[in-house]
């Protein structure tokens, strides 16, 4: 069935670059019969070689002469026919360059030219193929003969080309066609195992700036080392610290004076490889059993929304369902929002499937990833688990795809191809005849609407396992509630204070969420009101302590905190709005005996830092886990009895149509971390907007109520799921040029939409984006809406290929955007 390229034919090859189309190459005689769609080829690009993927064979001759394919290194294509088709679909739907789609689907190692080499058989040069070469007296021929006369050795093709040019390559291809040589792309080496790693750990805490000033009065370098270590969560590897500019001598001095300890960790091992399998609870409950039965009843290509409250035991439902799939000889893919945050799900999966599981996590080296990929492809492992991109794992005979926490924004890729894993999963499953399970306690509006229309089968787990109720949620109105004095910029009510104190006194654990990292949200001059903004972005700089710096959360900009206001000369500055660092400091002062850990982007930069923090919580050596949304995801710690939300409104007022949904999801998910064990639990939510529907429904655990209210909110003006949406973003360095470009594209688009009423599309804007400037580029956007999914695909394609984008501006078409900021 598969088309095979014939000699004298041409093939299209996608290179892993942002080229709008595939490139056409000629098939040399030696490779006739070896090229199929989805197969890798080595081709010349300018003066280099690159690895590409054949996207089509039997192409017509191009207008300009085509260069020859150099080699086809694999016996079998790296993408099977269904993945080739899926790649084409993703490219069309998201108007993405074909090469970038393939790069997102395949392990990077497959594209590393990894040096294509040729291995010549003994005696190969004595055959007819090399006769002309043997006769030739030219220096090139002689050099080539010398080079190739090393049977069994890997000879780089680049050397062949240097010695013998195009004729040399053709000779090698001919030898390969006659079976006298093999062309291979050498696999990249897997990373060597890492040995012991030196770690530093804080041994003393200085929570007041004054104390720090005193302690490090004459040693700024040590202070920086201390503060960096504190910022990394109190513990970090020497290599990480060195990358941040901390010298060995400063660290040694810290150890010397007793402020830090130095330890050698036996070895940094892949925690996912070492993860102990967790035995599943032996018996599913009645509710779980009937959910599994409903999933098993799905037709091939069918899909279900598994809507189960937090703690309802969705994981066991996935496992039981997947057990049936794997027993029947098929494979499965399990997607989780961020694999680093879900060690528990991984160990439960391993508990059931053992060595059949391949864990695709971001800590893998290119070589390790490639190993995992091959193990899946060859059927040595049949269950893949990973974040978004694991969706493309080469699982043969795919029987099921599970998306856990299907509402999570990380399922949408932020760069080309800007795909949404949920939609691509449905497509892949349809092509493979597999079933899809979308699991969540807080369905996305899109999935909820699909369940209501019958496109997704609704399967529910309305109660927690073991008759445990959902934890009561107390909403604290920050406008009026009594606050604890001296809590700096951290709004800290007496209610939350008492709840946390109670948990600590009883020896239980607590989580405190504030979805904003850093120490203070912004810095303001008290006399003239000046706020320090990023010079590259239209957002305020966040103040980070330890080490002290103003940092932009959008770009990499950082500067030292100001000493005086450049506008009015005033010397004092106000640090306003608390972030997680400040919460951590405040709690350390208020509860000196509590063991506090912080989990946010800043404290988890080091490799495996997430695991280390979660392991400590699991082992009970952390009493309070402070963090951003990271702590809200899927964690199951039965001893957590109190969850506090410092400020529920962080994302509520963003000018984005998903602001309420994100807020509701976050509150419901983090509340769901409380009371998962026999100790019970409670949740305290602090807010300035206690009447907002996202907060009211979250407090009442009323997910359906929220979904219905939010569906109504999005009816007029219409937003997804009532329409399909594309965000067309124009950016550039010159503000006026960007505005003009946006107007030009909008005008063109309006004319197109008017001429094609069947697309049912409307165009809004252009207007400056809510974040007007980012990374030194001005940003304008327009929104395209249509109720017709296929129409939006066509429009995205027209835009990407034909829109008149003037030089100096760049356009991005973001279809089904996760946000429009």
* Cα 211 to Cα 205, 214, 260, 598, 692, distances in angstroms: 9, 5, 16, 21, 42
- The piece of 311-319, 509-517, 585-593, 685-693 that touches ligand ADP (CB under 6 A) is 311-319
Query: Cβ 298 to ligand ADP, closest distance in Å?
Result: 19
> Of ligand ADP, Zn ion, none, which one does residue 557 interact with (CB within 5 to 8 Å by kind)?
Zn ion
Q: Phi first, then psi: what are they for 700, rounded to 5°?
A: -90, 5
Compute the least distance from the CB of residue 534 to Zn ion, in Å.
Answer: 3
The partner in contact with residue 537, picked from Zn ion, ligand ADP, none with C-beta cut-offs of 5 to 8 angstroms by kind, is Zn ion
Do residues 749 and 782 touch, judged by C-beta distance below 8 A?
A: yes
Distance separating alpha carbons of residues 158 and 359, to the nearest angstrom = 35
Q: Which three-class secondary structure state does DSSP give residue 333?
A: strand
Question: Under a CB-based contact definition with an 8 Å cutoff, are residues 718 and 785 in contact?
Answer: yes
- Residue 759 DSSP symbol: G
Q: Which is nearer to ligand ADP, 168 or 313 (CB)?
A: 313
Residue 281 or 301 having the CB closest to ligand ADP: 281
DSSP collapsed to 3 states, 14-28: ECCCCCCCCEEEECC
Contact 523, 576 (CB under 8 A): yes
CB of 694 to ligand ADP, least distance (A): 20
If the CB atoms of residues 314 and 610 are measured against ligand ADP, the closer one turns out to be: 314
- The tokens describing 588, both together, are 């350390």
Give, in order, the Cα–Cα distances in Å from 721 to each of 256, 447, 713, 769: 61, 9, 11, 22
- Nearest approach in angstroms of CB 651 to ligand ADP is 22
DSSP 714: T
Binding status of residue 537 toward Zn ion by CB under 5 A: yes
Contacting residues for 107 by C-beta, under 8 A, at least 6 apart: 366, 369, 370, 373
Sign of CA dihedral 313, 314, 317, 318: negative
Among the listed ranges 282-290, 543-551, 611-619, 697-705, the one in contact with ligand ADP (CB under 6 A) is 282-290
Nearest to 459 by CA among 259, 675, 565, 306: 306
Candidate list 285, 440, 542, 668; residue touching ligand ADP; CB under 6 A: 285
Binding mask 670-699 for ligand ADP (x = CB under 6 A): ------x-----------------------
Residue among 154, 249, 237 at smallest CA distance from 201: 237
We find the least distance from the C-beta atom of residue 60 to ligand ADP, in angstroms, to be: 53
Token pair listed for 81: 């026919």
Closest CA to 637 of 694, 599, 588: 599
What does 316 interact with, of ligand ADP, Zn ion, none (CB < 5 to 8 A by kind)? ligand ADP
Among 112, 310, 447, 580, binds ligand ADP (CB under 6 A): 310
- Does 443 contact ligand ADP by CB under 6 A? no
Choose which of 40, 161, 235, 314 interacts with ligand ADP (CB under 6 A). 314
Our finding on whether 308 is near ligand ADP (CB under 6 A) is yes
Which listed residue (219, 536, 538, 589) binds Zn ion by CB under 5 A?
536
The Cβ-side half-sphere exposure at 168, using a 13 Å CA radius, reads: 23
CB-nearer residue toward ligand ADP: 314 or 639: 314
- Report the site for Zn ion in 543-562 (rule: CB under 5 A): 552, 554-555, 557
Please say whether the beta carbons of 197 and 134 come within 8 A. Answer: no
Is residue 342 close enough to count as binding ligand ADP by CB under 6 A?
A: no
User: Should residue 609 be labelled a site residue for Zn ion when binding is judged by CB under 5 A?
Assistant: no
Closest to ligand ADP by CB, 193 or 678: 678
Residue 442 binding ligand ADP, by CB under 6 A: no
β partners of residue 196: none
Report if residue 284 touches ligand ADP, rule: CB under 6 A.
yes
Among 34, 72, 240, 534, binds Zn ion (CB under 5 A): 534
534 makes contact, choosing from Zn ion, ligand ADP, none, with CB < 5 to 8 Å by partner type, with Zn ion
Binding mask 611-640 for ligand ADP (x = CB under 6 A): -------------------------x----
Q: Which residues, 461 to 520, sit near ligand ADP by CB under 6 A?
A: 465
- Cβ proximity to Zn ion: between 537 and 626 the closer is 537
Q: Would you give the distance in Å from CA 119 to the centre of its chain?
A: 39
Query: Does 337 contact ligand ADP by CB under 6 A?
Result: no
Helix 421-432 and helix 81-93: axis angle, to 10°? 150
434 Cβ neighbours under 8 A, 6+ residues apart: 300, 301, 330, 398, 399, 400, 401, 428
User: From the centroid of its chain, how far is CA 538?
Assistant: 25
- Residue 285 binding: pick among ligand ADP, Zn ion, none (C-beta 5-8 Å cut-off by kind): ligand ADP
Tell me how crowded residue 808 is: count the other CB atoms within 10 A of its CB.
12
Nearest distance in Å: CB 705, ligand ADP: 20
Q: How far is the CB of 676 from ligand ADP (least distance, A)?
A: 6
Number of H helices, E strands in the chain: 24, 32
Among Zn ion, ligand ADP, none, the one that 342 touches (CB under a kind-dependent 5 to 8 A) is none
Omega of the bond leading into 537 within 30 degrees of 0 (cis):
no
- Choose the one of Zn ion, ligand ADP, none that binds residue 758, judging by a C-beta under 5 to 8 angstroms depending on kind: none
216 vs 411 by CB, closer to ligand ADP: 411
With beta carbons less than 8 A apart as the criterion, state whether 642 and 508 touch. yes
Q: Does 315 bind ligand ADP (CB under 6 A)?
A: yes
Residues in touch with Zn ion (CB under 5 A): 534, 536-537, 552, 554-555, 557
Residues in touch with ligand ADP (CB under 6 A): 281, 283-285, 288, 308, 310-316, 465, 636, 676
């Amino acid at each position: 069935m598969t088309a095979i390229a014939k000699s004298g034919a041409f093939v299209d090859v996608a290179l892993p670059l942002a080229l709008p189309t595939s490139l056409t190459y000629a098939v040399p005689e030696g490779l006739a019969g070896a090229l199929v769609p989805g197969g890798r080829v080595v081709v010349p690009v300018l003066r280099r070689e690159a690895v590409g993927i054949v996207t089509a064979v039997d192409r017509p001759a191009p207008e300009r002469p085509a260069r020859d394919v150099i080699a086809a290194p694999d016996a079998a294509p790296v993408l099977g026919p269904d993945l080739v088709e899926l790649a084409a679909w993703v490219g069309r739907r998201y108007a993405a360059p074909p090469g970038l789609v393939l790069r997102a689907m395949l392990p990077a190692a497959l594209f590393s030219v990894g040096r294509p080499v040729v291995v010549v058989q003994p005696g190969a040069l004595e055959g007819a193929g090399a006769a002309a070469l043997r006769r030739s007296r030219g220096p090139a021929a002689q050099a080539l003969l010398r080079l190739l006369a090393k049977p069994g050795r890997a000879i780089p093709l680049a050397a062949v080309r240097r010695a013998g040019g195009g004729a040399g390559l053709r000779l090698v291809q001919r030898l390969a066609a006659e079976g006298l040589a093999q062309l291979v792309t050498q696999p990249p080496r897997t990373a060597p195992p890492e040995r012991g790693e030196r770690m530093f750990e804080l041994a003393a805490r200085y929570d007041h700036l004054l104390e720090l000033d005193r302690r490090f009065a004459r040693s700024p370098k040590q202070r920086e080392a201390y503060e960096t270590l504190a910022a990394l969560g109190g513990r970090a590897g020497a290599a990480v610290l060195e990358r941040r500019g901390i010298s060995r001598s400063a660290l040694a001095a810290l150890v010397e004076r007793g402020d830090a300890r130095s330890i050698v960790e036996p070895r940094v091992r892949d925690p996912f490889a070492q993860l102990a399998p967790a035995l599943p609870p032996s018996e599913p409950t009645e509710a779980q059993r009937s959910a599994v039965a409903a999933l098993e009843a799905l037709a091939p290509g069918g899909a279900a929304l598994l809507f189960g409250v937090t703690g309802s035991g969705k994981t066991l439902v996935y496992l039981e369902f997947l057990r049936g799939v794997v027993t029947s000889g098929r494979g499965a893919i399990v997607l989780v929002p961020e694999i680093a945050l879900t060690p528990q799900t991984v160990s439960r999966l391993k508990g059931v499937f053992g060595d059949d599981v391949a864990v695709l996590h971001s800590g893998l080296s290119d070589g390790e990833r490639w190993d995992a990929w091959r193990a899946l492809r060859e059927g040595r492992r049949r269950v893949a688990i990973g974040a978004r991109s694991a969706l493309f794992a080469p699982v043969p005979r795919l029987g099921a795809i599970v998306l856990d926490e299907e509402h999570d924004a990380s399922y949408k890729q932020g760069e080309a191809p800007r795909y949404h894993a949920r939609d691509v999963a449905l497509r892949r499953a349809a092509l493979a005849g597999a079933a899809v399970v979308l699991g969540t306690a807080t369905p996305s509006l899109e999935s909820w609407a699909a369940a209501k229309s019958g496109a997704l089968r609704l399967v529910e787990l309305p109660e927690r396992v073991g008759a445990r109720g959902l934890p009561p949620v107390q909403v604290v109105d920050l406008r009026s509630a009594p606050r604890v004095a001296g809590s700096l910029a951290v709004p800290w009510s007496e209610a939350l204070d008492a709840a946390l104190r109670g948990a600590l006194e009883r020896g239980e654990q607590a989580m405190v969420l504030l979805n904003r990292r850093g120490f203070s949200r912004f810095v303001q001059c008290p006399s003239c009101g000046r706020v320090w903004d990023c010079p590259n972005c239209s957002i305020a700089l966040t103040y980070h302590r330890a080490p002290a710096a103003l940092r932009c959360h959008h770009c990499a900009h950082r500067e030292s905190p100001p000493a005086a206001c450049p506008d009015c000369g005033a010397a004092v500055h106000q640090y306003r709005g608390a972030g997680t660092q400040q919460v951590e400091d405040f709690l350390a002062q208020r509860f000196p005996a509590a063991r506090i850990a912080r989990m946010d982007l800043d404290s988890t930069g080091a490799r495996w830092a997430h695991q280390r923090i979660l392991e400590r919580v699991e082992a009970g050596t952390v009493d309070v886990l402070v963090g951003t949304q990271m702590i809200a995801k899927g964690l199951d710690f039965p001893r957590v009895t109190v969850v506090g939300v410092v400020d529920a409104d962080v994302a509520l007022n963003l000018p984005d149509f998903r602001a309420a949904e994100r807020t509701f999801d976050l509150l419901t998910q983090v509340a769901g971390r409380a009371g998962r064990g026999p100790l019970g639990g409670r949740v305290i939510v602090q807010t300035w907007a206690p009447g907002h529907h996202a907060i009211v429904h979250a407090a009442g655990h009323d997910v359906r109520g929220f979904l219905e209210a939010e569906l109504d909110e999005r009816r007029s003006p219409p937003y997804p799921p009532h329409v399909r949406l594309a965000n067309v973003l124009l950016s550039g360095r010159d503000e006026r040029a960007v505005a003009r470009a946006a107007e030009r594209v909008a005008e063109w688009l309006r004319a197109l939409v008017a001429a094609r009423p069947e697309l049912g599309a409307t165009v809004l804007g252009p207007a400056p984006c809510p974040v007007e400037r980012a990374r030194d580029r001005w940003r304008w956007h327009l929104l395209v809406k249509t109720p017709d999914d296929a129409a939006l695909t066509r429009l995205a394609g027209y835009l990407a290929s034909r829109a008149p984008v003037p030089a100096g501006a760049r356009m991005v078409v973001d279809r089904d955007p996760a946000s429009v900021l």
